Chains A and B, each alone.
Chain A
Amino acid sequence: MSQTATAEAAPTTISKSDAWYPTSQRDMYVVKQLVTKDFKLKYRRSVLGIAWSVLNPLLMMCVQAVVFTKLMSRHDQTIPNFPIYLILGNTAWHLMSDATNRGMESIIHAQSLLKKVRINRWVFPVQKVLFAVVNYVFSLAAVALVMAIFRWTLGPWALLVPLGILYLTVFCIGLSLLLSSLAVFFRDVIHLWGVVLTAWMYLTPLFYSVTILPDWMQSVMRFNPMYLYITFIRRCLLWKMNPGLLVHGGCIAWALVMLGIGYAVFRKTEDRFILFI
């Protein structure tokens, strides 16, 4: 490695061995760089910047609390604190919808890269999900704020919350892998997913209690993955209880099944992506 002093001369080459990551480590650094990029771009030129990640769920909760408190509280005594109930459900829901919406279009948006650089394609949907998770973690500051206002203490089960977030993240990665590959071949999926998300949101007890539903719907609800993930987090933080074996098992099962399906579809189709983007 001989460094010459002349600046304008062609650069001398540095020993090659320490220039590159081994192939196995590259993906993680790329994911990190892409998440950083998204994060920088999201808040560039915004006055409040990162504060929006906190303000947004907070304002949303206020609106819903005003509208729904009258409607709900008389029906249901099982919810100990309605605003906390709301914000926990909303933020977790937002994580999923944000992650899948971004993940779904990730391959299409990465087309200029995919056409020129060899790169593991799963990096893009996974990166978008992780970006949504980062945003979610910031929105937990809003949750903390609401809990502080109501002097809501943390029970020992709060320690399980990271586990719940992990399950939900895996679920979102699976779903994003699936959606991103479908969206490459049929752009309709993008429009359809918007409708599915809206319907799914109303079918998930975000601003109502599951107990107001008829019995048969309550049993169907046990198979709604988002209900399971949100129940997991609410039980840990709001009811301060063990999420329970059933919820735990359901969360894990959905995460693994979704990851399995998403991964299988993605691997099967990824070689043909480039012909369609």
Chain B
Amino acid sequence: MGNEIIRTNEPGTIYVDDVTMTFNIAKEQFNSLKEYFIAMTRHELKFKPFHALKNISFSVEKGESVGLVGTNGSGKSTMLKIIAGVLSPSEGKVTVNGNIAPLIELGAGFDRELTARENIYLNGALLGYRKEFIDENFGRIVEFAELQKFMDMPLKNYSSGMVARIAFSIATITEPDLLIVDEALSVGDKFFREKCEARISELVNSKNVTVLFVSHNVEQMKRVCERCIWIEKGDMRMDGPSDVVAEAYSNMKR
């Protein structure tokens, strides 16, 4: 990591500089003012710092496809959330350029009382899409999700797989600068999973889209990503070509 990289503002680039994420795990959970003040006056406000990420640095160029591997609780999702701009790091800095399409827990931002049609507009707005763009591409979104018949049904009647279909379809209908995929593909039926993977590969191959990918399926990771970053218990273990990293990761497990 010693070599200096030339930084650009080009959409799709990610720069992670020495990021540390510390959660203060309170030994007790305070849910009310009273409890809090009682503990405070007794000097019983104890926190146990937990480092979810320790001094992580890497950069991703436009068009790269990078997988994150690591055992459960190693900080992969925390990293993705920091890059997605949802969490702010305790220390260090993250710079992300361009439009982000996050596929983190598909269906976030959907309202279960609204119909699928209404949800597509709501979710599109949250992703930053123009209204005219959604109007124009509504048909294609529905078509990709293969749910033409269910558009005016409230989402609460949908199965989780159907929700995932719509969410995936909205986020990938155009080329975002950065696509973040967090185990999103583990829902949905086999056919749709394959369709999703094909679509992601298509975006990867276009070289216009930077893809960050988290999956526990090492084989899938190798198929989709050219580069892999291994984060283990908050530490950066390895950063390199995906088959090399995947190999090392699989061997560690045994």
In the complex, A275→B31 CA distance in Å?
Answer: 13
Residues of A within 8 A of B215 (CB): none
Q: Does A19 contact B (CB under 8 A)?
A: yes
Residues of A within 8 A of B86 (CB): 114-118, 274
Interchain CB contact under 8 A, A18 and B130: yes
Q: Which one of B61-69, B137-145, B158-166 contacts A?
A: B137-145
Q: Which one of B107-115, B223-231, B236-244, B246-254 contacts A?
A: B107-115
Q: Which one of A25-33, A92-100, A168-176, A214-222 contacts B?
A: A25-33
B 140-171 contacts with A by CB, 8 A? 140, 143-144
Interchain CB contact under 8 A, B84 and A116: yes
In the complex, A114→B118 CA distance in Å?
Answer: 20
Contact with A along B197-213 (1 / 0, CB 8 A): 01100100010100000
Interchain CB contact under 8 A, B137 and A113: no
Interchain CB contact under 8 A, B118 and A40: yes
Interchain CB contact under 8 A, A44 and B113: yes
Q: Does B71 contact A (CB under 8 A)?
A: no
Q: Does B126 contact A (CB under 8 A)?
A: yes
Q: Does A75 contact B (CB under 8 A)?
A: no
With contacts A19-B130, A21-B130 taken as known, whether A117 is within 8 angstroms of B109 at the C-beta atoms is yes
Main secondary structure of the interface of A (DSSP, over half): helix
Interchain CB contact under 8 A, A37 and B128: no
Q: Does A162 contact B (CB under 8 A)?
A: no
Chain A contact residue count (CB 8 A cutoff) = 35
A205 CB to closest chain B CB (Å) equals: 32
Q: Does A11 contact B (CB under 8 A)?
A: yes
Q: Does B57 contact A (CB under 8 A)?
A: no
A 1-40 contacts with B by CB, 8 A? 7, 10-11, 13-14, 16, 18-21, 23, 26, 29-30, 32-34, 37, 40
A194 CB to closest chain B CB (Å) equals: 15
Residues of A within 8 A of B109 (CB): 112-113, 116-117
What residue in chain B is nearest A192 (Cβ atoms)?
Answer: B33
In the complex, A34→B85 CA distance in Å?
Answer: 21
Interchain CB contact under 8 A, A275 and B23: yes
In the complex, A46→B113 CA distance in Å?
Answer: 14
Determine which of A19, A30, A37 lies in contact with B118 in the assembled complex, contact meaning CB atoms within 8 Å: A37
What residue in chain A is nearest B11 (Cβ atoms)?
Answer: A16
What residue in chain B is nearest A14 (Cβ atoms)?
Answer: B174
Residues of A within 8 A of B174 (CB): 13-14, 16, 19
Q: Does A202 contact B (CB under 8 A)?
A: no
Residues of B within 8 A of A267 (CB): none
In the complex, A186→B31 CA distance in Å?
Answer: 6
Interchain CB contact under 8 A, B111 and A29: no
Residues of B within 8 A of A29 (CB): 125, 130-131
Residues of B within 8 A of A7 (CB): 143
Interchain CB contact under 8 A, A37 and B111: yes
Pull 13 A–B residue pairs with CB atoms less than 8 Å apart, ordered by A.
A11-B143, A11-B173, A13-B175, A13-B206, A19-B130, A29-B130, A33-B125, A44-B113, A112-B109, A116-B86, A117-B84, A188-B34, A275-B23
* 7 tightest Cβ-Cβ pairs between the two chains A and B: A118-B85, A116-B108, A33-B125, A19-B174, A188-B33, A116-B104, A26-B128
Q: Which residues of B contact A (CB under 8 A)?
A: 23, 31-34, 36, 81, 84-88, 99-100, 102, 104-105, 108-109, 111, 113-114, 118, 121-122, 125-133, 136-137, 140, 143-144, 173-175, 177, 195, 198-199, 202, 206, 208
